[in-house]
């Protein structure tokens, strides 16, 4: 059963990233306001992911193989399609991309979710936003490894492991891409989401009582304000990440408190469903739409370019989800081994 508030917040997270990139793309410097907005959207996604994994697997054990296959069916096909599209674009029209160049090694590592360092020092794949999926897959694998445990022990084990990794990362300053990438504090955002998921499974009053919703709303607003009040000299740091993570948790808890009173919004549900497609495709829609507008129209206000790119990126994600992402995922699931076994068992 889908949780309305989680669906709506998935849409919010995707839109935060879209809006941030729409404002950042036309400029050649790092704007603190929008850089932090994009980071907030990503962290909200991570906290939601931790919550969903606990909620969907329940309080007991689950099948790790089936769990991982379902997650791979969900994230891999569209990511591979977009990555291959970016690779082709980097070869055919490299001027369209800001700082993405093609190499077979980068393509293979990107498709296999292996972090690597670019020439400019960034640890991002060909499809730049794919770095978040490297974290997601790492989280899924560890979560699946704890499948034989109860939900409480699963959350405790994954959390302890992620804390250990971040401590190691603070003590040992890795220069290699893989150990440095997987010892970042960002891993702890999944733990926050898992904690909320555990409370939701056990019907904790703190996230079930409607009257507590204003408290969580105020908490989210305060921590967002504190994150933006950090010195602008360093747009992002572990401090801003921590503040945005707490704000994300507060938003989710507010939504859960209001769950029974939330109206069913077809727009909200549609955007929530399409949030993954929106996240993966929007950077290139933003860039493409701005280029087209500048060529077709006389010099106009930058706001027209920005608003148009946001609208186009949002609308484009809906058919991508309905006609590409969802059909591929369903087809893969239909022909998966366990689906055949289940049909055979039912027939028997």
Structure tokens at 218: 């105020």
Distances (CA, A) of 213 to 8, 246, 258: 16, 15, 7
DSSP 22-76: HHHTT-SS--HHHHHHHHHHHHHHHHHHHHHHHHHH-SS---HHHHHHHHHHHHH
Cβ(52)–Cβ(142) below 8 Å: no
Q: How far apart are the first and last CA of the chain?
A: 29
Using pLDDT thresholds of 50, 70 and 90, give the confidence band for residue 119.
Answer: confident
Predicted local distance difference test score (pLDDT) of residue 342: 45
User: Which 8-state DSSP code applies to residue 297?
Assistant: S
pLDDT digit string, tens, across residues 59-106 = 999 999 999 999 999 999 999 999 999 999 989 888 777 778 889 999
pLDDT digit string, tens, across residues 230-266 = 999 889 999 999 999 999 999 999 999 999 999 999 9
Structure tokens at 16: 């935060």
DSSP 80-95: HHHHHHHHHHHHH-GG
Is-above-0.75 flag for pTM? yes
Cβ(210)–Cβ(258) below 8 Å: yes
Mean pLDDT (the chain) is 91
Predicted local distance difference test score (pLDDT) of residue 337: 56
- Separation of alpha carbons 236 and 219, rounded Å: 21
- Separation of alpha carbons 84 and 251, rounded Å: 35
pLDDT digit string, tens, across residues 14-71 = 999 999 999 998 777 778 999 999 999 999 999 999 999 999 999 999 999 999 999 9
Q: Higher pLDDT residue, 303 or 134? A: 134
Using pLDDT thresholds of 50, 70 and 90, give the confidence band for residue 136.
Answer: very high
pLDDT digit string, tens, across residues 308-339 = 999 999 999 999 999 999 999 888 877 765 44
């Amino acid at each position: 059963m889908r949780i309305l508030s989680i669906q709506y917040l998935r849409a919010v997270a995707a839109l935060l990233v879209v809006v941030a990139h729409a404002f950042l793309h036309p400029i050649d410097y790092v704007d603190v306001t929008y850089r932090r907005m994009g980071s907030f959207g990503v962290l909200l996604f991570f906290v939601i992911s931790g919550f969903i994994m606990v909620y969907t697997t329940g309080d007991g054990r689950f099948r790790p193989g089936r769990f991982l296959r379902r997650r791979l069916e969900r994230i891999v096909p569209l990511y591979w399609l977009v990555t291959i599209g970016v690779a082709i674009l980097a070869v055919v029209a490299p001027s369209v991309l800001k700082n993405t160049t093609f190499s077979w090694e980068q393509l293979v590592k990107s498709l296999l979710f292996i972090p690597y360092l670019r020439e400019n020092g960034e640890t991002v794949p060909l499809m730049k936003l794919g770095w978040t999926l490297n974290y997601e897959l790492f989280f899924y694998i560890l979560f699946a490894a704890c499948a034989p445990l109860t939900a409480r022990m699963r959350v405790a084990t994954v959390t302890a492991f992620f804390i250990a990794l971040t401590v190691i990362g603070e003590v040992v300053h890795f220069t290699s891409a893989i150990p440095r990438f997987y010892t970042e504090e960002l891993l702890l955002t999944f733990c926050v989401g898992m904690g909320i998921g555990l409370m939701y499974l056990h019907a904790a009053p703190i996230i079930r009582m409607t009257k507590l919703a204003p408290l969580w709303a105020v908490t989210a607003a305060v921590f967002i304000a504190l994150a933006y009040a950090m010195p602008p000299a360093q747009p992002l740091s572990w401090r801003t990440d921590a503040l945005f993570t707490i704000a994300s948790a507060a938003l989710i808890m507010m939504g859960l408190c209001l769950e029974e009173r939330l109206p069913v919004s077809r727009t909200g549900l549609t955007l929530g469903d399409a949030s993954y497609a929106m996240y993966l495709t929007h950077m290139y829609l933003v860039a493409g739409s701005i280029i087209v507008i500048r060529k077709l129209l006389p010099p106009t206000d930058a706001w027209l370019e920005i608003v148009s790119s946001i609208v186009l990126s949002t609308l484009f994600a809906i058919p991508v989800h309905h006609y590409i992402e969802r059909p591929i995922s369903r087809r893969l699931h239909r022909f998966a081994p366990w689906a055949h076994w289940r049909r055979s068992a039912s027939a028997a």
